[in-house]
Structure 1
Amino acid sequence: MSRSLRDALLKALETLPGTRQFHLHVLVSAPRKHAGLYPYAHPRPKVYLSDVLVLLSEQKTPDAPRVFVAGIEAYLYHVPATSCLVLNVAKLDSTGQAAAPSPTATLIRAFIAYYGDPATRPINAQHLWIHLFARAQNQYMFPNSSEHPGKHPLSDIKLCAWWKRILSDVAADLESRIGEKSKLRLYYVLPGYSELEAVQSLHSASASWSTRKQPSVAWIYGHPYSQTDIPLPCSNVQPKEGQENLGLFIPSFEDDPKSRFIDEIAYTVEGEGVRSPQRKRARTLTRTTSTRDIETTRDTSKERHNENEKDQDERPQGELGKVSPNEFWERMSFRQECISGAVTGFFVMAVSTPMPADTTDPLAPQPGQVSAQMIKRIMATLLTGHEFSNVERAVRATESLEASIKGLCDGVSPVPSAPIKPLSSGKPLSSAKPRSSAKPVSSARREKTPERDASSSSNDIYASLPRTPPRRPTQLPEDTRSASPSPFPEPETSLDTYHTYIYGSVQVDNPLPPPKVDAAGEGGQAADGGVEEPKVTVLTVRKKKKKADS
């Protein structure tokens, strides 16, 4: 029996140095039908979606309170027709309040390897596509966590280099597990950068980081939509000649610039606009026209009309039939989020492994799964009801959220915290005054500290960067927003489900590694788990004293 995601992550956390205890909450929703992964494909494939939320808290001593230190939000798509899985790592964030070394890198490596390894993959699919978009921000999941002095957000190019190193580590580990009959491919694109510029920039950004075992598969600078080694999720669709469709290649994810770009391409028409159909000239009857000829003419025109409607339905929408994948990625370099001065990166890892035949229903819920509404409720509370600017507020938020998860599993709906200003790329969340545990304070009387000026901190250098507007669901075709209900009932959770599949803890007691020494003989472990940059010693030139005139 394959190990659950919770157990796989706890197993990886056991190897971290130091003495501390980790508390892990893993929430995976039951699969449901989803029509938005390839909304412009004809025919549209059947896709099943599961939400994944991972929250990791740390307890430095047995008497210390728990505090969230890392979190993952991901989406797993299953395309049974081509035996493909698509894993989109939407968010990865830390609070900066973990003991060194930070568990964030270990957590995400174990998370990706769990789905990449066929021995632990929860869904019997032969091909796995992992997509992630790297864009530097102060915080992704934990509001105001960038205000904590222990958090050091990476810059744009360093974030891209960090993700490339993480995927390289996972690929190197998977090569020893998947066997010789399997295939593994790595792709990345930094829009606006040539291959030489991208290689040099990422190499210089990660020069001070320690390197692990490198995979034998080399990174490919480009997109994976021209290769045929590993089938794409829509590879079973063969469009007619002249009806090539970009919608068969580009998957659509939430808060992803390429999804917004393909929406614009799909709704772009020619410069002259949409033409109305030409008015047909009325047919006049002659004396020699018989009733049989009229009926034959009507049947022929009706068949021709049906064929034209069918061809029009199969024709790619907008300009999707005129833009190739190569042109799509070339034009991505001119998008707003890619030319605003901050470097962004698109990374794809593909793993193809032989899997045994499976006849189970893809909609059948598995043990330990929860409803998608439960995960959405927890995420909404995390993003709008709490903040992590200091230890006290982070501890209070951790206690409240962990109690909410346990209460929802037990069927008890806890009282949600008072909402605060939603997370935004502009000004940070307003900080609420800490409550007293003895006497609660109503939300109407709660005092708030004034908002911090975004220009007064170096952590907000990305707050004012231009960003494309959020994707508008109303632009998508009508049938992409509705799907037939699942024949299986919503999963019911209990305390047994909570303790068996959702919550787990592990005590870590390992020796700390020796401090890493740089070329100058100095160095150390950074608070976020990375290696600190070498310290530069400035030597002062001592002027030679002039001899006194004799």
Structure 2
Amino acid sequence: MPSTPNLRDHLLNGLRDIPGTREFHIHVLVSSPRKFQGLFPYAHPRPRSYLQDVLVLLSEQSTPDSPRIFTTAIEASVYNIPTTSCAILYVSKVDTTGQSTSPSPAVTLVQSFLTYYADPTTRPVSADHLWIHLFARAQSQYLFPNSADFDGKHPLSDVKLCAWWKRVFSAVADTVGAHTDTAIRLYYILPGFSQLEAEHSISRAAVPSTSDVTERSWIYGHPYSQSDIPLPCPAPAVDLQQKCPNLGHFIPTFDDDPKSRFMDEIGLPVDGEALKSPPKKRARTTAPQSKGPAPPKNQDAEKEGQGGKEERILGELGKVSTDEFWERMSFRQECVAGAVTGFFVGGFSSSSAERAASGTSPLAPLPGQVSCQLNKRVLSSLMTALEFSTVERSIKATETLEGAIRGLCEGLAPAPIPPRTAANTNARGLDRRTPEPEPSRALLAPPSTPPRRGSAYVPDVSPNPFPEPVTSLETYNSHIYGSISVRNPPLAAKSRSQENSGVPREPAPHVTVLAVRKKKKRVE
């Protein structure tokens, strides 16, 4: 049985068929698993889960003599829940610099990345069921600071971004379903839109493509009412006797995700009171009785009724259903700020025989994985110390960060990267004069949802039985860094109308303008 390729080799193989002639260079950082109790912080009992951070950086060279330049980056998190044999892949950010050769490798890279985890034959996590979660929100930049200032970057609009992600998920489902017996379910919600409105908006924004991607059957809604694919954290039988099961068993908590903030407001007190659902009127079933002293309450029974499951469910989490949760999400600030947003979820379920069985502990690091601190250090340097507003600065940033990754893997202390300020963002630092103050937007933090007010997450301080992986130059060359030269026929040139709109246009039909004949006045 051939060995399963690592993530780096899988992504490089996916880039092999991109049109044009160029060379791609990739850096893949996957952290070793660690205990994480914040995925379902409001669930009782709380499932044991393990977290891995993933960062993919892609650079390219148009010619062998040209410098490298970053074009695409992916930040994601992988959660493993062994008790239910489920895993969750949350794609938090995808960004481009707009400085790649056409066509952009972003769509191919993202599809290969999602397919690697969705396909049971390549999935590196020992789980029979995988859920992919994504929140689509159009922004001018995410991972490459100041890349929005580059004239060649053209971010997709809100509806087009949702249509782009819908097509990516469909392509991944086609690839996985073509050679595996995998049950696939795809869900999406555009908050504030009905199903008809959402389908119409996305169909109008979708760009026709020549690739063989079939339009899979999508379900407009959430996956928490279905039973085809097991959920990562199902509600226990004792909670199913209630009117509404504990909402904390269904909605996972991710960083920089509006669902997490809403869950905190439902489950945690706000000024001493929880965010409550509107009270429902109850019809009177009996005639009003004569007034009199109320019978004494059984204090012991009252305490007994409040001491069990009612005390464990915080706030209104036991009263808000999943349908009501998504209905109220339509009124959240992140979803009604004037831009269309989308929530996409894909479920991929297979039998244990289809994936490579692993008898190792879920905490055991695999070859090529790095420590989470190394991953966080590289990501922090990317988002706080570098910028990509021009080609020259992008080249310098690419050289600096790629050298820092190699130095960290070799155990060498890389040269410190100064923080990005108005004083050192002058072009190449050649001007020794006091620079003019740059606009304040150049120093703004990367776009994100507002910080969460609070959380029920309590970090797990129990020790990890496995030591942190130690990287080396061999690890760098075998698992982290790789390159591939692409020499394929170039993409057919588009007409000017196609380049401007991204959608092919038919020749404008001939229009005959009818002139109005003026009635002549009779001269008497």
Tell me which interval the TM-score lies in, with the shorter structure as reference length: 0.7 to 0.9
Which residue does 2:129 correspond to in 1?
Answer: 127
Contact 2:59 2:69 in 1 (8 A): yes
For the 8 Å contact 1:26–1:501, the answer to whether it is kept is yes
Whole-angstrom distance in 2 between the partners of 1:542 and 1:233: 64
The answer on whether the counterparts of 1:54 and 1:73 sit within 8 Å (CA) in structure 2 is yes
Secondary structure, counterpart of 2:135 in structure 1: strand
Q: Distance in 1 between matches of 2:301 and 2:413?
A: 59
Q: What is the SS of the residue equivalent to 2:17? A: coil
Amino acid at match of 1:248: H
3-state SS in 1 of match to 2:253: coil
Q: Does 1:239 align with 2:227?
A: no
Q: Which residue of 2 aligns with 1:481?
A: 459
CA offset at residue 214 of structure 1?
Answer: 4.0
* Aligned 1:469-508 pairs, distance under 5 A: 469-472=450-453, 475-477=454-456, 480-508=458-486
Equivalent position SS for 1:469: coil
- Quickly say closer, same or farther: Cα 1:142–1:269, change in 2 above 3 A: closer
CA distance in 2 between counterparts of 1:248 and 1:509 reads 49
1:21 aligned onto 2:27: no
CA drift at 1:31: 0.3
Q: Measured at CA, do residues 128 and 59 of structure 1 come closer, stay the same or move farther in structure 2, by a change above 3 Å?
A: same
- Separation in structure 1 between the aligned mates of residue 130 and residue 497 of structure 2, nearest angstrom: 39
Report deviation, 1:523.
Answer: 5.2
Q: Deviations over 1:39-82 (max 9, x none)?
A: 00000000000000000000111110000000000000000000
Distance 1:337 1:265 in 2: 16
Distance in 1, Cα, partners of 2:338 & 2:510: 35
SS in 2 for 1:360: coil
Q: What is the one-letter code of the residue matched to 1:494?
A: S
8 Å Cα contact 1:28-1:51 kept in structure 2: yes
Write the distance in 2 (CA, Å) between the matches of 1:152 and 1:91: 17
Contact 1:523 1:535 in 2 (8 A): no
1:415 deviates by 1.9
Unpaired runs of 5+ in structure 1?
275-300, 422-428, 455-459, 545-550
Q: Is the 8 A contact 1:172 1:215 kept in 2?
A: yes
> Letter of the aligned partner of 1:109 in structure 2?
Q
1:76–1:85 CA contact under 8 A, matched in 2: yes
| Paired position in structure 1 for 2:285 | none
**How far off its partner does 1:124 sit?**
1.7
CA separation of 1:492 and 1:304: change in aligned 2, threshold 3 A: farther
Report the counterpart of residue 169 of structure 1 in structure 2.
Answer: 171
The match for 2:348 among 344, 348, 351 is 351
Inter-partner Cα distance in structure 2 for 1:502 and 1:204: 40
Alpha-carbon offset, residue 481 of structure 1: 2.5
Q: Distance in 2 between matches of 1:433 and 1:273?
A: 50
TM-score, normalised by the number of residues in structure 2: 0.85
Q: Aligned letter for 1:108? A: V
Cross-structure match for 1:295: none
Write the letter of the residue equivalent to 1:58.
E
Task: State the match for 1:225 in structure 2.
Answer: 224
Cα 1:476–1:89, aligned 2, differ >3 Å: closer, same or farther?
Answer: same
Cα distance in 2 for residues equivalent to 1:119 and 1:390: 41
- Cα offset, 1:413, TM superposition: 1.5
| Cα distance, 1:535–1:435 mapped onto 2, change above 3 Å | farther
Instruction: Check whether the contact 2:35–2:460 (CA below 8 A) recurs between aligned residues.
Output: no
Task: Give the C-alpha shift of residue 524 in structure 1.
Answer: 5.3
**Aligned ranges 1:443-482 → 2 under 5 Å:** 447=435, 449-451=437-439, 469-472=450-453, 475-477=454-456, 480-482=458-460
Between 83-92 and 482-491, the greater mean CA deviation after superposition: 482-491
* Pairing 1:49–2:45 present: no
Within 5 Å, which residues of 2 pair with 1:159-308?
Answer: 159-179=161-181, 182-206=182-206, 208-210=207-209, 212-215=211-214, 217-235=216-234, 237-240=236-239, 241-242=241-242, 244-268=245-269
CA contact (8 A) 2:267 2:274 kept: no
Residues 1:326 and 2:327 aligned together: no
Alpha-carbon distance, 1:129 to partner: 0.2
Distance 1:453 1:374, change over 3 A: closer
Q: How many residues align?
A: 484
Q: Is the 8 A contact 2:170 2:215 kept in 1?
A: no
Instruction: Say yes or no: does 1:152 pair with 2:145.
Output: no
**Per-residue displacement from partner, 1:214-233 (whole Å, max 9, x unpaired)?**
44740000000000000000
Query: Paired residue for 1:30?
Result: 32
User: Structure 2 vs 1, CA of residues 190 and 531 (structure 1 numbering), >3 Å: closer, same or farther?
Assistant: same
Alpha carbons of structure 1 residues 272 and 14: separation in structure 2 relative to 1, 3 Å = closer
Answering whether residue 423 of structure 2 is matched by residue 435 of structure 1, we say: no
Give the aligned residue type for 2:203. H
Closer/same/farther in 2, CA of residues 318 and 414 from structure 1, 3 Å limit: same
Q: Match for residue 7 of structure 2? A: 5
Instruction: Using the TM superposition, give the Cα deviation of residue 304 of structure 1 relative to its aligned residue in structure 2, in angstroms.
Output: 10
Could you list the per-position Cα deviations for residues 336-386 of structure 1 after superposition, in whole angstroms to 9, with x for gaps in the alignment? 111111000000010001124543200000000000011111111101101
Cα distance in 1 for residues equivalent to 2:367 and 2:117: 17
Alpha-carbon RMSD across the aligned residues, in angstroms, is 3.2
The letter for the 1-side match of 2:438 is P
CA distance in 2, matches of 1:3, 1:73: 20
Quote the residue 2:409 is aligned against.
409
State percent identity of aligned pairs. 52
Provide the residue aligned with 2:375 in structure 1: 375
TM superposition score normalised by structure 1: 0.81
Which residue type is aligned with residue 339 of structure 1? V
Deviation at 1:150, TM superposition (A): 1.3
